[in-house]
Amino acid sequence: MSVREPLVGLFSKSFEKPSDLLCCAFGLRNSEIDTYFSLMDGPKTVEQISEIIGKDRSTVQRVLNKLLNKNLVERTTHFIDRGGYYYEYSAKSSEKVRKEILSQLDEWYEATKSFLLRSWPQTPQ
C-alpha cells in the first residue's frame, strides 16, 4: 500500500453536506460533528447536549474541549446565586465557520500553487 493512495481522487472529491466539509477542514469525528450541530439552534449545557446526542457527560465534555480548541464553539460561564457555576456552550456562527473553511482552502491553494511553480521537477524522478 502506497502512502499516496489516500490522496487518490482528492481533486474529484465532492461534498454533499456541511458535515463533510467540517470533517475535512477541522478533522472532526462523528461525535464532534453531532455535538457541533446540536448547538446550532442555541446554547446548551453539557447535560442537554448529552441527552440530545446520546453520549455520557464525560464524553461530551471531552468533545466540547476539542471543539473549543478548534474554535468552533464558545463557552459562557453562568454563576449560581448560592455559589458555584455552570457552563453553557454555543456554536460559532455558520458564517464564521464558512469563512474559516474558505480561508483554509485559500491557504492550501496558495501553498500548493507555490510548490508547483517553484519545486516541480523539470525531469522525471
Mean pLDDT of the chain: 87
For the beta carbon of residue 109, count every other beta carbon within 10 angstroms: 10
Domain 15-114, CATH class in plain words: mainly alpha
pLDDT score at 9:
63
pLDDT confidence of 12, banded at 50, 70, 90? low
Instruction: Determine the pLDDT at residue 40.
Output: 94
pLDDT at 27: 87
| Domain residue extents for the chain | 15-114
Which grid cell sits at 75?
463557552
Q: State the pLDDT at residue 10.
A: 61
Q: Which pLDDT score is estimated for 1?
A: 41
Residue 51 pLDDT grade (very low, low, confident, very high; cuts 50, 70, 90): very high
Lookup result for grid cell 456562527 = 93
Least confident piece of the model among 5-19, 30-44, 75-89: 5-19
Distance CA 71, CA 74 (A): 7
pLDDT at 3: 52
